[in-house]
Amino acid sequence: MKKIELNFAHIRTPEQMHQLLKEEFGFPDFYGANSHALIDCLSSLRYPEDRISEITLQQDEILILECRGLAFKKDTFLRELIAAVSAVNEREVFKGNEPSLFICPVNR
């Protein structure tokens, strides 16, 4: 199991959210900064040969996303993140794997 802390406290726009995710995951410069690109990049975490993220997972490993500062954000941030994680996990299950990502809100 791996963990990554994502601090959304100072995020005000979707563009800022995608920039944060790009920086924290080490997505490439060509990252599209939209929901579809996020799903594609997160789907590559278990496939390091894709060279899409600096964070990689073993085939049976999970990544906990410790999300700070989401409690007072617009629903759009939370919905986009949940939808992306859900889509990635659905892809993994379709391939016969266990889900790879879990969101853990942290309010401290």
Q: Give the number of other CB atoms < 10 A from CB of residue 30.
A: 7
The conformation of residue 25, written as its DSSP 8-state character, comes to H
For domain 2-106, the question of CATH label 3.30.70.270 is answered with no
- Give residue 65's pLDDT: 96
- Per-block mean pLDDT, blocks of 10 residues, the chain (108 long): 92 90 96 96 95 94 92 72 96 96 86
- Give residue 105's pLDDT: 85
- Give residue 108's pLDDT: 62
* Domain limits, the chain: 2-106
| Backbone dihedral angles phi then psi of residue 7, each to the nearest 5 degrees | -105, 110
Residue with tokens 């899409």: 52
